[in-house]
């Protein structure tokens, strides 16, 4: 489905969606398995067999609505899911020829409702309790909608001035047009969630004191790591998440002709392919991992390769070189692992004689992000990852829950959705137990 020839160069989404007859055709390849393996691959419990059947027999709206019940981000996950390691991984059809393009069909289903108002879900009777959700990314949104469905009053407090989290400001527009996130935000609002951007001061303890009955932390990992390289202060050194956010906001920064990206994850790939679209003539991507060890999705790595990104795998940065306060180059060297399988800088050993230097007008760091917040009474590790009970998603502080990247340490959008749903369930169980005066679901450990 991905068309790299047109994708390259444009800052708008250009992947093609199935025409209706093409979707039916693809769906008709589905073997409609008994006990379908695809269904076990989805963290958000989307019933793939059933929505594919709906498409096959012409019930497109039914497909869209079925997916939405399990995962409100229908079209978004159809675009962003690493389907090759999820639903499609065990597709039985692969035994015959190739797996069903489940992601492509989900995307088709999502697009069926484009420009229309998705029908609202069945809502429980309104309850009095108020829940604050910190963060309006995938996890926060999924939780907010589920909590509204359960009847709670929900305020979604977003730090940034733009709601949507990484959906609006973290994924480049050519992979996901911002309008998709906006329409899901609109859906959450129609369901009755108050989405309040620009509320960076929100704090669970204060929120509980001010009258909220529960708080769900879904702030993601927003604080980028810096490597601490010589030359990091130079003009022309930037952090990938800032670059992606500014491009999402409509800015078109000039990165110069030569760009070096440091990092091997999806954000690094996104930064590299974005740099190409901002006019860079050559983009070098330097990462610690080998090609097969890179944490980025295979499909994204392949796209980057097809677009001409130069990969320097199993290398480590040494310094950023400057002249007159401005970046002019990047220096690194090849490494081997001291112990196999431990993919961290401290386990890297320099291979002498592999030192190299790249010309650079900009250097973009994309080596990961950490949780940037610490909350009173909420157990958090040094990377800012919040500890939760995996069954209830409650943190070490009663009434405070967490979900998404801030608990998982960084996973997929669909995983965040799945956790958001689970956290909403945890909140519901907690509040009902409290109401009943029992301790069921309320105690932790």
Interface residues toward another protein, by CB under 8 A: 24-25, 28, 31-35, 37, 56, 92-93, 95-96
On whether the CB atoms of residues 288 and 281 are closer than 8 A, the answer is no
- Between 42 and 55, name the residue whose CB sits nearer to another protein: 55
CB of 56 to another protein, least distance (A): 8
Nearer to another protein, 25 or 114 (CB): 25
Task: Rank residues 31 and 342 by Cβ distance to another protein and give the closer one.
Answer: 31
Q: In what order do the strands lie in the sheet with 310-312?
A: 237-239, 362-365, 258-262, 282-286, 310-312
> Quick one: three-class SS letters along 205-242?
HHHHHCCCCEEEECCCCCEECCCCCCCCCCECEEEHHH
CB of 19 or CB of 32, closer to another protein: 32
Q: State the nearest-atom distance from the C-beta of 21 to another protein, in Å.
A: 8
CA 38 to chain centre: 21
- Describe the crossing of helices 48-56 and 60-70 by its angle, rounded to 10 degrees: 170
Q: Are 182 and 168 within 8 A, CB to CB?
A: yes
CB of 103 vs another protein, minimal distance in Å:
20
Residue 135: exposure state from Cβ atoms within 10 A (0-12, 13-18, ≥19):
buried
Beta strand pairing status for 214-217 and 400-402?
parallel
425's enclosing H/E stretch is helix 413-436
Q: Whole-number minimum distance, CB 49 to another protein, in Å?
A: 10
Residue 15 Cβ vs another protein, minimum distance, rounded to whole Å: 23
Cα gap 343→229, rounded to integer Å: 19
CB 364, CB 260: distance < 8 Å: yes
Joined together, the tokens standing for residue 332 give 């690194």
Nearer to another protein, 100 or 216 (CB): 100
Distance in Å, CB of 188 to another protein, minimum? 33
Q: Is 109 or 269 the residue whose CB approaches another protein more closely?
A: 109
**Given the complex with another protein, which of 91 and 133 has the nearer CB atom?**
91
Cβ distance to another protein smaller for residue 96 or 117 = 96
Shortest CB 62 distance to another protein, Å: 16
Q: Strand order of the sheet with strand 214-217? A: 194-196, 153-157, 130-134, 214-217, 400-402
| DSSP codes, 145-209 | HHHHHTT-EEEEE-SSSSTTTHHHHTS-TTTS-HHHHHHHHHHHHHHT-EEE-S-TT--HHHHHH
Shortest Å distance, C-beta 433 to another protein? 38
């Amino acid at each position: 489905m991905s068309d790299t020839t047109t994708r390259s160069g444009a800052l708008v989404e250009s992947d093609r969606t199935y025409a209706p007859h093409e979707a039916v055709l693809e769906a008709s390849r589905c073997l409609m398995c008994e006990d379908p393996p695809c269904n076990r691959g989805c963290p958000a419990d989307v019933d793939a067999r059933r929505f594919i059947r709906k498409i096959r027999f012409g019930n497109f709206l039914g497909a869209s609505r079925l997916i939405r019940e399990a995962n409100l981000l229908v079209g978004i996950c159809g675009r962003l899911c690493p389907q090759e390691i999820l639903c499609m991984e065990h597709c039985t059809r692969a035994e015959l020829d190739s797996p069903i393009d489940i992601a492509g069909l989900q995307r088709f289903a999502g697009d069926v409702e484009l420009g229309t108002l998705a029908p609202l879900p069945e809502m429980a009777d309104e309850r009095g309790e108020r829940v604050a959700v910190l963060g309006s990314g995938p996890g926060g949104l999924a939780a907010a909608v589920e909590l509204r469905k359960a009847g709670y009053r929900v305020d979604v407090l977003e730090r940034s001035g733009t709601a949507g989290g990484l959906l609006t400001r973290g994924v480049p527009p050519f992979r996901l047009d911002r309008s998709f996130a906006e329409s899901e935000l609109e859906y959450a609002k129609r369901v009755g969630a108050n989405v309040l951007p620009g509320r960076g001061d929100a704090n669970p303890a204060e929120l509980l004191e001010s009258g909220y009955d529960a708080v769900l932390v879904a702030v993601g990992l927003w604080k980028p790591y810096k490597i601490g390289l010589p030359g990091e202060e130079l003009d022309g050194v930037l952090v990938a998440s800032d670059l992606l956010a500014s491009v999402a906001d409509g800015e078109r920064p000039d990165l110069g002709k030569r760009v070096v990206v440091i990092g091997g994850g999806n954000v690094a790939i996104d930064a590299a392919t974005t740099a190409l679209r901002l006019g860079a003539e050559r983009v070098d991507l330097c990462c610690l991992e080998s090609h097969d060890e890179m944490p980025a999705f295979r499909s994204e790595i392949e796209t980057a390769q097809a677009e001409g990104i130069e990969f320097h795998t199993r290398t480590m940065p040494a310094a950023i070189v400057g002249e007159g306060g401005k970046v002019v180059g990047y220096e690194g060297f090849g490494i081997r692992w001291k112990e196999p399988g431990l993919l961290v800088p401290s386990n890297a050993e320099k291979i002498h004689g592999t030192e190299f230097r790249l010309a650079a007008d900009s250097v973009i760091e994309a080596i990961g992000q950490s949780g940037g917040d610490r909350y009173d009474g909420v157990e958090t590790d040094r990377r800012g990852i919040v500890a939760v009970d995996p069954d209830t998603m409650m943190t070490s502080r009663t009434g405070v829950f967490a979900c998404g990247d801030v608990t998982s340490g960084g996973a997929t959008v669909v995983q965040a959705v799945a956790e958001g749903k689970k956290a909403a369930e945890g909140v519901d169980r907690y509040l009902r137990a409290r109401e009943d005066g029992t301790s069921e679901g309320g105690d932790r450990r």
